[in-house]
Amino acid sequence: MSVRDLADYPWDAVVPFRELASRHPQGLVDLSVGSPVDPTPEIVRRALAEATDAHAYPQTVGTPALREAIVAWYARRRGVADLRPDNVLPTIGSKELVALLPTLLGLGPGDIVVHPRVAYPTYEVGARVVGAEPVAEDDPALWPEGARLIWINTPGNPDGRTWTVEELAAAVQRARELGAVLASDECYAELGWEGRWAQETIPTVLDPRATGGSRAGLLSVYSLSKQSNLAGYRAAFVAGCARIVGDLLTARKHLGLMPPAPVQHAMAVALADDEHVAAQKELYRARRAVLKPAVEAAGFRIDGSEAGLYLWATEGRDAWESMQRLAELGILAGPGPFYGRSSGEHVRLALTAPRERVEEAARRLRAVAG
C-alpha cells in the first residue's frame, strides 16, 4: 500500500471536543495525550549541552557508553543480567521502531502481524504500510498460523494491562511454535500502581524466567519519554535477539536512522540515574491519587489501569457521548475507538497534565457527582 491509503490521523476527530472544552470558563484541562509536561531533569539537560560539539556523524549502533548503559539498565532495573552490547540498539524514539519493524523485518503481503485488541494504532499502521494483515488478538493460544511478527504491550497503552512472567513465558512458547518474532513494547514499565505491581518489578519479555534460556526471536522495546521526560529528545532502544538486532542495525545503517550524538550521550546519563525516575513516578502517583477517585465518583468505572500512564474509563455508553460530557466540563479525553474495535465505550485519561490542572479536573468531576 502507499501512504495515501492510510486513514486520516485519528486525532483530527478530537478537534471539536477540544474546541468545546476550551470554552469552559475555568479553561481546558487536557488529559487526551500522554506527552510529558514536567521538566527534563537537569542532569540530562547538562549532558545534552556537554555533547553539542557533534561535528561528526553519529553511530547508528550507538556509542559504547550508551550500549553499556542500556545493558546495565536491563541488569539493574529489569532483572536481565546477561545482555551484551550486540543485544541492544538505540532508536529515534520508540514509535518509529514500532511503525518500521515490519518493514525492517522484510514482511509484506501474505504475512500476519498480531497486535493487542486494545492497542495504540501504530502496530496496525506498521503492518498496513507493508501490505501485511494486522490481526488483533491477546490470547497466545489464538495467535494464527502465518504470524510473522507478534506485538504485545506491557503495561498497555491505553488499558494498563500488565503481563506476568508466566503469561510472558506462554507467549514466548507460542511465538516460537509459530516461528514468529515476539516484540514487547514496554515503555511504561517503571509505572506500576496497584496489586502486585505496586511492589514488584514489572517483568520484561527478556526475563530469564520467560525466555527458557534463549533470547532467540525476542525483542524488548523501551523509551525514555515517560520515565525521564525525554519525549522531545526521541530517545529509545530495542534489545533482545542478537541476530535480529544485527539485522535491524544493518537496515538502519542503510536508511540513515541514527539517533543524534548529543541525544545518545544524554540517554547514557539518564539511564544511569534512578533518582530522577523515582521522583517523576511520584509526580504521576500524586496526580493519579487525585484523579482516579474523582473519575469514579462521576460515574465512570476504571478498567485495568494497574500500571502505565492512563486511566481507562467507561460509563457503559458510547465513548463519544462520554467525550461530549467531559468536554462540557472543560476536560478533554482520548476516545476509546482510537484503540480498537472493542473500545467503543471507553475513554483514556492521561496523567500528564500539571498537578493544578488535574486538581481542577477532579473538582469539576466531583461537582457533577454531587
Cα atoms found within 13 Å of the Cα of residue 96, Cβ hemisphere only: 16
151: nearest Cα among 177, 118, 197:
118
Q: What is the CATH number of the domain that holds 208?
A: 3.40.640.10
- The verdict on 298 and 362 lying in the same domain is yes
Residue 5 in this model has a pLDDT that exceeds 50 = yes
Question: Which of these ranges, 10-19, 25-34, 80-89, 92-101, has the smallest mean pLDDT?
Answer: 10-19
- The verdict on 266 and 122 lying in the same domain is yes
Last residue of a domain, one of 248, 273, 298: 273
In eight-state DSSP terms, residue 4 is G
Does 361 fall in a domain? yes
pLDDT at 12: 79
Q: Enumerate the β-bridge partners of residue 114.
A: 135, 150
- The verdict on 150 and 250 lying in the same domain is yes
Can you tell me whether residue 358 is helix, strand or coil? helix
pTM of the entire predicted model: 0.94
- The verdict on 142 and 213 lying in the same domain is yes
Enter the C-alpha cell of residue 139: 490470547
Q: How far is CA 233 from the centre of its chain?
A: 15
Enter the C-alpha cell of residue 179: 516461528
- The verdict on 131 and 196 lying in the same domain is yes
Average pLDDT over residues 185-191: 97
d(CA 332, CA 326): 6
Q: How confident is the model at residue 2 (pLDDT cuts 50, 70, 90)?
A: very low
Which secondary-structure segment (H or E) carries 169? Answer: helix 165-178
d(CA 205, CA 185): 9
Can you tell me whether residue 92 is helix, strand or coil? strand
Average pLDDT over residues 219-238: 96
Does 44 fall in a domain? no
Which secondary-structure segment (H or E) carries 266? Answer: helix 261-271
- The verdict on 307 and 324 lying in the same domain is yes
Average pLDDT over residues 357-368: 96
- The verdict on 66 and 126 lying in the same domain is yes
- The verdict on 260 and 283 lying in the same domain is no
- The verdict on 206 and 281 lying in the same domain is no
- The verdict on 70 and 207 lying in the same domain is yes
Average pLDDT over residues 37-65: 95
Can you tell me whether residue 139 is helix, strand or coil? coil
Q: How confident is the model at residue 6 (pLDDT cuts 50, 70, 90)?
A: low
62: nearest Cα among 284, 260, 348:
260
pLDDT at 11: 73
Last residue of a domain, one of 273, 301, 327: 273
Instruction: Supply φ then ψ for residue 353, to 5 degrees.
Output: -80, 155
Average pLDDT over residues 280-302: 97
| DSSP result, 233-258 | GTEEEEEE-HHHHHHHHHHHHHHT--
Cα torsion 13, 16, 19, 21: sign:
negative
d(CA 189, CA 162): 9
d(CA 266, CA 50): 9
- The verdict on 130 and 254 lying in the same domain is yes
pLDDT tens profile 320-356: 999 999 999 999 999 999 999 989 999 999 999 999 9
All residues at 6 or more sequence positions from 19 whose CB lies less than 8 Å from its CB, including other chains:
none
Average pLDDT over residues 175-182: 98
d(CA 292, CA 301): 10
Q: Are 281 and 190 in contact (CB under 8 A)?
A: yes
Last residue of a domain, one of 218, 244, 273: 273
In eight-state DSSP terms, residue 340 is -
d(CA 311, CA 217): 32
Q: What is the CATH number of the domain that holds 326?
A: 3.90.1150.10
Structural domain that includes position 295: 3-39+276-369
pLDDT at 330: 97
pLDDT tens profile 102-158: 999 999 999 999 999 999 999 999 999 999 999 999 999 999 999 999 999 999 999
